[in-house]
Amino acid sequence: AIHKIFIHPHKSTGINKIGCGDVFGAVCFFYYLKTQDIEYSADKAATVAALVASYSDFKEFTNLKDYVYGK
């Protein structure tokens, strides 16, 4: 069966557009494997992708792992 879900977009400054889709896919896959909850996984992925879009400096990526893991 096909199910449709809607995830509200998260606000971002939109400085960086490179890699946001890759980050979305990786985070969504990670959380889906962890929780088996596609809505939660997609929402978490949208949040992290919006965060990455707001990064203006490569050094900001060093804290991304902590944000994804919830530390």
Question: Which residue in this structure is represented by tokens 């978490």?
Answer: 44
Average confidence (pLDDT) over 31-58 = 91
Longest CA–CA span in the chain (Å) reads 43
- pLDDT reading at 71 higher than 60: no
Average confidence (pLDDT) over 2-9 = 84
- pLDDT reading at 28 higher than 70: yes
Task: Looking at the chain, list the stretches that DSSP marks H as alpha helix, in order from N- to C-terminal side.
Answer: 20-35, 38-53, 64-69
Output the pLDDT for position 60: 82
pTM: 0.80
- pLDDT reading at 35 higher than 90: yes
Average confidence (pLDDT) over 29-42 = 95
